[in-house]
Structure 1
Amino acid sequence: MPETSATPVIPVNKIPQAYQWLAKEPGPKMLLEALSHFGELEAKGPDNNPDITGWAKEIGGSVADVYKADEIPWCGLFMAICAKRAGYDLPKDPLWALNWSTFGTSQPTAMLGDVLTFIRKTNTGAKAGHVSMYVGEDEAAYHVLGGNQSDCVCITRIDKSRLYAIRRAAFKIGQPANVRQVFLNATGKLSNNEA
């Protein structure tokens, strides 16, 4: 039985042609919520995007205390707002991307709407993470929808060798029938650093 609730409005005109099919997918709810923010941009310079900083206020608690500006990496914040609005509990300290490796249930194979965490290197060479949502894959990379990818909510390709964890929401009504592997053409460059 599929999840049910009001479907967020998806800005189809902002989604690249290769991914337009996503606007017709009936779920999962987290994916639909993520798609509704497609194209949301981080503000340049000292200003902040009020939508992004508003997500932290909506989540509240320590997230609102920590997250005051959109120049702070916000991939975890984006995943948190999608999960919260879809009705799921957040992992401890959701701003830390790798903490999403405790969300939902572990999966051996990535499928539509799954939460993927990746390892990345910072400018200083330190190990950090990135969290995003699976929309497909090609032979070399996962195609992922996430926040703070080129300073916006968009789809990018991330090398499969960087994968840290695959997690699936613990669906409350039942897994949507469209949760499946999606094979896509290898179009676009690989992301090297999502910070």
Structure 2
Amino acid sequence: MERWIELARSFIGLHEVKGREHNPEILQMWKDIKRGGIKDDETPWCAAFVGAMLERAGIKSSRFEGARSYSSWGEKLAEPADGCVVVFSRDGGGHVGFVVGQDSAGNLLVLGGNQSDAVNVKAFPRSRVTAYRWPAGVPMPIGTLPVRAPAEFSKSEA
């Protein structure tokens, strides 16, 4: 398992704090990607999560707050690979996370931040994918994308 995925898995369950307080771990993720001027956990933070996990694993992220910044980051993949970065379209913007498998119907299982205001694994249809990316210079895993137990479909990434 890739180091950034191990790190990302350790944050499953992390969520935004409702109200005037903000989760300090999410604020640290903004700092990790050199966007420390963002001082809340309501700003869409999927790219901060992906970037922080990459940075903490010693890989330079896009260092940008927009999910679509990952569309040209790293190396392009024609198909998803276990641990790759995946960029999605959504109404009003984009979304980014890590592919950690697929369900039996071929939907992608994505470990990401700001998925229903938390870090979790959700299912996404491949029809929403705009890019699969891999860190430049890092050897890719060999083999097919693993089939895992189904997950609930993502309903909110904003």
TM-score (norm 2): 0.90
Which residue does 1:112 correspond to in 2? 82
2:119 matched to 1:165? no
Query: For the Cα contact (< 8 Å) 1:158–1:192, is it kept in 2?
Result: no
Matched, 1:181 2:152: no
Q: Percent identity?
A: 33
- Alignment partners' CA distance in 2, 1:71 and 1:54: 14
- Report the secondary structure of 1:99's partner residue: helix
1:145: how far off? Answer: 0.1
Q: 2:120 is matched with which residue?
A: 154
Cα distance in 2 for residues equivalent to 1:150 and 1:190: 11
- 1:42 alignment partner, one of 3, 16, 41: 16
Distance 1:120 1:57, change over 3 A: same
Deviation at 1:184, TM superposition (A): 2.9
Deviation of 1:168 (Å)? 1.2
1:194 correspondence with 2:157: yes
CA–CA distance in 2 between the matches of 1:188 and 1:113? 17
The whole-number CA distance in structure 1 between the counterparts of 2:87 and 2:78 is: 13
Map residues 117-136 of structure 1 onto 2, 5 A cutoff.
Answer: 117-121=87-91, 126=92, 128-136=93-101
Contact preservation (8 Å) 1:120, 1:129: yes
TM-score, normalisation: structure 1: 0.74
Equivalent residues of 2:121, 2:151 under 8 A apart: no
Count of residue pairs the alignment pairs up: 157
Q: Which amino acid aligns with 1:141?
A: N
Task: Tell me the CA shift for residue 111 of structure 1.
Answer: 1.4
Which one has the largest radius of gyration? Answer: 1
**Structure richer in helix, relative to its length:** 1
Who is 1:21 aligned against? none
Q: Check 1:58–1:89 CA distance in 2 against 1; reply closer, same or farther (3 A cut).
A: closer
Unmatched tracts of structure 2, length 5 or more: none
| RMSD, matched Cα | 1.8
1:76 counterpart SS class: helix
5+ residue gaps in structure 1?
A: 1-26
Q: Deviations over 1:41-63 (max 9, x none)?
A: 11111210011102222333xx1
Contact 1:118 1:164 in 2 (8 A): yes
